[in-house]
Structure 1
Amino acid sequence: MMAPEDRSDERAVIGGSSNLPVAAAAANKPPGEVRIVCDEPHDYHHHPPSALALVSSSPPRCLNTTFNSPLPTPPALIEPRSPSQQPQQSCSGHSLVLSRPLRPVILKFEDVGYKVKVDSSNNGGFCLPGKSTILGSTPAEKTIIEGVTGLVRPGEMLAMLGPSGSGKTTLLTALAGRQQGKVSGSITYNGQPFSASVKRRTGFVSQDDVLYPHLTVMETLFFSALLRLPSTLSREQRMEQAEHVMQELGLNKCRNSIIGGALVRGISGGERKRVSIGQEVLINPSLLLLDEPTSGMDSTTALRIVCTLQGLARGGRTVVTTIHQPSSRLFHMFDKILLLSEGHCIYSGKASEAMGYFSSLGFVPSVAMNPADFLLDLANGVAPDLGTIPGGINVMEKYDNNSNSAIKQSLILSYNKNLAPSLRTELLSWDQHSSSLTHIKQKKSTEDIPHLGHAGTEKQWSTSWWEQFRVLLTRSLKERRHESFSGLKILQVVSVSILCGLMWWHSKVSNLQDQVGLLFFFSIFWGFFPLFNAVFTFPQETPMLVKERRSRMYRLSSYFVARMVGDLPMELILPTLFVTISYWMGGLRPSVQTFVLTLLVILFSVLVSQGIGLALGAVLMDVKQGATLASVLMLTFLLAGGYYVQHIPFFMSWLKYFSFSYYCYKLLLGVQYSEQDSYVCGDGALCRVADYPAIKHMGLDHKGFDVAALTVMLVGYRLIAYAALRMGKAAR
């Protein structure tokens, strides 16, 4: 069996082990606490004097940073040990999830490639896979990444470097199993392909922090714990887990501050990033992938984030991150780096050996500088005089003296010649090592370190449907309380209702046309209002829904039902307030029973209108398109509602049967008036209300059919919305 790599130069004390160089530093630390000394690498024997000067001039990295973890050390996760050899650690004071042994993940990727089709006749715009252009030309393929190979073991942190557009995010997304389209090559997790079981043990932090802006830090982590941690843990234990993660990430001081966003002031960018990391750390992931976690941060905040990641890695996790332009002290904190240039790998190996490798090729910085800056210059094709590099003149002549392209191609060729063969040999040896280790583990105990590839051995969801519904409903009410009953929205509804009551102040039955107009206004106002609110629902929540669904936090059905129920307070209370004010001011039938029936009809119509908006938003998933189509649709229903046009041509008369405004208006008339009602008409004569032209055209009968039609719409539009979500990217 191949021995694990000697990692004594990491200068870390894990669990109070005495066989590491700085074990004495942890003598007085509690069991299970990790003290990361994070000294700068001391392996400089590959560097020439100039490179050595620039590396050694960098400041030390996160000295005396602590990270509590009761997890076993990476060697203990890879090499089987007897019970007497296991480090003695105390789990007191830690939550149950972090107390469990990790299932380590050895991430291997070999010859990974990804291509997209582009339309060369449309300025290089991307095309859908398998589709031709409008002119019938065949789209060309553009290589995003090609032939990238690497290996990351538990306890290691790999950083992907490269200029913008080099394929870092694409590769990271492919490693997380989230890249759409066909990814070539091989990506395995403990020798197994990506599966649902791997997905549940993988934490993925995107570059953009997708968080609810009006929830506090504590609420955000607590709701994530309730949804992602297994139901075998009590609510108190999951709360304890959230508290523990918040403490480890240094979020206690902002625990009661809201997250904030573009329009709402909240916590800082670094704190927001740590909240995103905390959501993934909650599940104690074996594999943690992060996309540019330090972008837009100052050097001190970035250092704290990377120190946190290093502490997570030293706890036995496999950590992979992309990073755009790290400082020198951040660079020295990475165990391995993978340098990309236009989708091709030009270096893959230990961070401490990167400068030595490029200096052996003749690429030596002329002045002391950040190693990451120098490597990014090389990836961009910016380097010292190419004429000093062996064979550089020939390469430049091949590329028409284009020094940038020549340097890039030279580095790619050097990588394929010098590093790629040894990397493939390492992958092969680890294949043999993991196979023998798996055999030993299975022989010893089937529960020691289970394989992640067998998805059928575990439940698909961490919590039950009912628990997911309860948590999502509570979260929805907390998040939307600011908009559901905002002062502006209440003022809008109250002011319109008062204006409406004043316009129809104490109208009489003798002015039947006025009362009929008031009832029709009820139907159209509470048709437009909820429809245009609902059409924005799913397009605005798509990023959050996609993120959480990809993490398998909950079922789509539990989210959908919780969202529908969570909307009821806003959708029902405001119409009730409106009708209560305008009904009695408008002089409609002074009967409590009639008032209640009128209110029920309005509320029924509101729910149907909301369903139409939800369906439009879910189908189109575009706010602008949804609002435009909603306007056209609502105007069509308005014209077909039976108030403006009573004699509709036969070839257009079918529209009214699809108009919920028609059924709502008809029911309001049927509730307000009966066949026996009369009004003063003409010269003081009494006329039947049912004979009034506008009412006679609509009719006061068939109320049961009208209710049934609205019920079908109420259910049908929501089923359409759910089906659209199920078939869209939110279901993936």
Structure 2
Amino acid sequence: MQDPSITNSARSPDLERNDGGDFLMNQTVQNFSWRDLNVTVKDRETKQFRDLINSISGDAQHGELIALMGPSGCGKTTLLNVLARRAASSGAKVIGETYVNDSQVDSKTFQRMTSYVEQEDALIGSLTVQETLKFAADLSLTGSVPKIQRMERIRTLLEAFGIQKQANTIVGTPIRKGISGGQKRRVSVASQLITCPKILFLDEPTSGLDSTASYEVISYAKELARVNNLIIIASIHQPSTTTFKLFDKLLLLSSGRTCYFGKTENTESYFDSIGYSIPLQTNPAEFLLDLVSSDFSGSKEPAGERVRAIQNAWKESAQSILVDSQICERVNSAEKGTKSWTEEDMTRPNGLSITMALLRRSFIKSYRDVVAYGIRIIMYLGLAIMMGTVWLRLHPSQEYIQPFTNAIFFGSAFMSFMAVAYVPAFLEDRATFAKERANGLYGATPFMISNFIIGLPFLFLISILFSIISYWLSNFQPTAEAFFTWVMWIFLDLVAAESLVVLVTAIFPNFVIALALVAFANGLWMSVGGFLVTPKILNPFWKYVFHYIDYQAYVFQGMMVNEFSKRNYSCGAGCQCMYTTDLADQCLIRGTGVLESYGYATGRTGKWAGILVGIIAVYRLLGWIALYLRKN
């Protein structure tokens, strides 16, 4: 029996009404069709081309909910990606045509009139449900839509999806529990409906949900399609009987070929006509999946032969021929002068508005999500206490020169090394960006700018807190100028380290790989930075290939100059000075003598800081290029 709450939500105000803004497109999508779609890839072992999708045609009318169904590996997600004009597979070749209102539209325009909900909910866990929809509106609706109308639209969506009671509940993080899995799916769909897409693609919307939650999600999708004249195409694995009957049409696939396409209510009569009757009291979806699976044989005939027979029966059926002929007839008779969608019909916020929205969203995420910066602040405070107490109250005498140097190396190297803790936070941001970029909301530039800016105040806070504890406990040069110079180097060190994380994670969006590469890179920078082996005797290969691009090297020598350039150290009893300087007759060591042993000159702080800023800029630029070129 249907849940009353579902029926009530279906009666909520429709989502297509004109709120006075220019974000509604001037045309309605009456139909969406595809003809002779083929996807081929080259097999890595045989080097021969094989089909992922073979000669698939179909169409959908406004208000319809279409199911893409088939056994695992049949090509559901591949077909859904092709229909949504996304990358089908690495190195895949796509042939075929898709039509909107029986006409072809360019990819950019198509992207603006459609939305795609990923199988995995790429939601920001630290935002509330209402904030998630608010930022979706800020990133997609132009400034000509007043704030009051945006909030009204958000309220409408919350009511339509039955999640108004969860409006102020966070989505949920690994540390803080939020809304349920079914509610997350509804939030994902609702956030894509802010822009009134005409075609909505859902990739496994019931994945990980029980039968009740699955029915709930598909019920909402059906009502949205009916009430708002949307076309919704969803890939689905194994729906229950009640969920299966909610779909208007079924496209059944096996091994990349069509086994059936038509009204869901006609599946029983069609399969009965080709000799495969659906038994009574049987879940039709489950029966059809078993029927077209080529992995297991039935009792009467081998699975492969059965599937080929079903595919051939469809190809030769009157329904298949009718689908192709209707698409061809409509396309050929389409009016040539029909106005198509233009950029003006679908204006979106400018780059500045998007960047500001991303900054606001990132700020909320940063102070709420302890994984992003909270845990890191605690880690760095612990490191500061450890450093300050291990190197406690060092004295300006020669036996403490090496401990001073060790403390400088530890403070600079391990501060940057611990930036690996930023990898999971950036991976979450990157996943959100990939989803929103694929839906045409914004590109790599505003994402990288907002990511860089939002990190600066937090990294500066970490630098100050770390320095206040460690600098004075260790008794470095006790002047305000030296202290704030130390803070500057720590800050630049952290910004460079985080920029390295962004670069590596942008190229390799995998937690284990990114973590390993960032750790390896920091180990490399420690080795060639100048402390373990001084630049004077460092192997030429490592010196000229890596030392001069090592941001830790500039931080270390900057800190060394900050400590030793204006400080003298006593030689102790007997005046046996470790370093010979012009103060030897006074039983003192001038700090510049220590710097000379490393080959460091004074008066180059500005130059080294400039080089460090340049390295940061290069890391960020390369990260931007990586995100710009990668499409997933």
TM-score computed with the length of structure 2 as normaliser: 0.88
Are 1:665 and 2:576 an aligned pair?
A: no
Are 1:185 and 2:96 an aligned pair?
A: yes
Instruction: Report the counterpart of residue 330 of structure 2 in structure 1.
Output: 430
1:705, CA displacement in angstroms? 2.6
Are 1:369 and 2:282 an aligned pair?
A: yes
Q: SS of 2:540's equivalent?
A: coil
Q: 1:62 to 1:417 in 2, by over 3 A?
A: farther
Return the alpha-carbon distance in structure 2 between the equivalents of residues 462 and 365 of structure 1: 49
Aligned length: 608
Return the alpha-carbon distance in structure 2 between the equivalents of residues 60 and 237 of structure 1: 29
Alignment equivalent of 2:207, drawn from 284, 288, 295: 295
Return the alpha-carbon distance in structure 1 between the equivalents of residues 298 and 519 of structure 2: 62
Return the alpha-carbon distance in structure 2 between the equivalents of residues 539 and 150 of structure 1: 37
Q: Which residue identity does 2:389 align to in structure 1? A: L
Return the alpha-carbon distance in structure 2 between the equivalents of residues 291 and 499 of structure 1: 49
Q: 1:475 to 1:688 in 2, by over 3 A?
A: same
Moved over 4 A (4+): 59-65, 69-72, 94-102, 261-264, 381-386, 455-459, 484-488, 534-540, 675-678
Q: 1:107 to 1:707 in 2, by over 3 A?
A: same
Contact 2:366 2:373 in 1 (8 A): no
Deviations 1:273-327, CA, capped at 9 Å, x for gaps = 1011101111111111112222333333222222222222222111212222223
Instruction: Report the counterpart of residue 162 of structure 1 in structure 2.
Output: 70
Contact 1:669 1:700 in 2 (8 A): no
Return the alpha-carbon distance in structure 2 between the equivalents of residues 507 and 170 of structure 1: 64
Are 1:705 and 2:604 an aligned pair?
A: no
**Structure exhibiting the larger radius of gyration computed from Cα positions:** 1
Q: SS of 1:683's equivalent?
A: helix
Return the alpha-carbon distance in structure 2 between the equivalents of residues 659 and 331 of structure 1: 59
Unaligned runs of 5+ in 2: 576-585
Q: 1:689 to 1:299 in 2, by over 3 A?
A: same
Q: 1:99 to 1:582 in 2, by over 3 A?
A: closer
Are 1:543 and 2:431 an aligned pair?
A: yes
Q: 1:709 to 1:333 in 2, by over 3 A?
A: closer
Alignment equivalent of 1:339, drawn from 235, 252, 261: 252
Return the alpha-carbon distance in structure 2 between the equivalents of residues 295 and 485 of structure 1: 28
Q: Which residue identity does 1:505 align to in structure 2? A: L
Q: Which residue identity does 1:595 align to in structure 2? A: F
1:410, CA displacement in angstroms? 1.9
Deviations 1:71-123, CA, capped at 9 Å, x for gaps = 78xxxxxxxxxxxxxxxxxx69x685798765215211111121222234xxx
Alignment equivalent of 1:687, drawn from 575, 588, 608: 588
1:488, CA displacement in angstroms? 4.6
Instruction: Report the counterpart of residue 302 of structure 2 in structure 1.
Output: 403
Deviations 1:590-615, CA, capped at 9 Å, x for gaps = 22222122212221222222223322
Return the alpha-carbon distance in structure 2 between the equivalents of residues 96 and 232 of structure 1: 6
Deviations 1:26-45, CA, capped at 9 Å, x for gaps = xxxxxxxxxxx99xxxxxxx
Instruction: Report the counterpart of residue 723 of structure 1 in structure 2.
Output: 625
Return the alpha-carbon distance in structure 2 between the equivalents of residues 283 and 607 of structure 1: 36
Unaligned runs of 5+ in 1: 1-36, 39-58, 73-90, 121-137, 387-401, 443-449
1:676, CA displacement in angstroms? 7.6
Q: SS of 1:624's equivalent?
A: helix
Contact 2:9 2:162 in 1 (8 A): no
Are 1:420 and 2:320 an aligned pair?
A: yes
Contact 1:112 1:186 in 2 (8 A): yes
1:692, CA displacement in angstroms? 3.2
Return the alpha-carbon distance in structure 1 between the equivalents of residues 11 and 26 of structure 2: 17
The 10-residue stretch of structure 1 (518-527 or 145-154) with the greater mean CA deviation from structure 2: 518-527
Deviations 1:248-268, CA, capped at 9 Å, x for gaps = 111112112221256653211
Are 1:517 and 2:442 an aligned pair?
A: no
Q: 5 Å matches for 1:597-676?
A: 597-646=485-534, 647-649=536-538, 651-652=540-541, 653-654=543-544, 655-674=546-565
1:489, CA displacement in angstroms? 3.7
Q: SS of 2:447's equivalent?
A: helix
Aligned CA RMSD, in angstroms, stands at 3.1
TM-score computed with the length of structure 1 as normaliser: 0.76
1:233, CA displacement in angstroms? 0.7
Q: Which residue identity does 2:220 align to in structure 1? A: T
Instruction: Report the counterpart of residue 233 of structure 2 in structure 1.
Output: 320
Contact 1:690 1:699 in 2 (8 A): no
Q: 1:166 to 1:599 in 2, by over 3 A?
A: same
Q: SS of 2:169's equivalent?
A: coil
1:62, CA displacement in angstroms? 7.4
Return the alpha-carbon distance in structure 2 between the equivalents of residues 630 and 99 of structure 1: 45
Deviations 1:373-401, CA, capped at 9 Å, x for gaps = 33223323789986xxxxxxxxxxxxxxx
Alignment equivalent of 2:477, drawn from 572, 589, 593: 589
Return the alpha-carbon distance in structure 2 between the equivalents of residues 611 and 385 of structure 1: 60
Q: 1:496 to 1:205 in 2, by over 3 A?
A: closer
Return the alpha-carbon distance in structure 2 between the equivalents of residues 285 and 505 of structure 1: 63
Are 1:66 and 2:10 an aligned pair?
A: yes
Contact 1:159 1:338 in 2 (8 A): yes
Contact 2:37 2:94 in 1 (8 A): yes
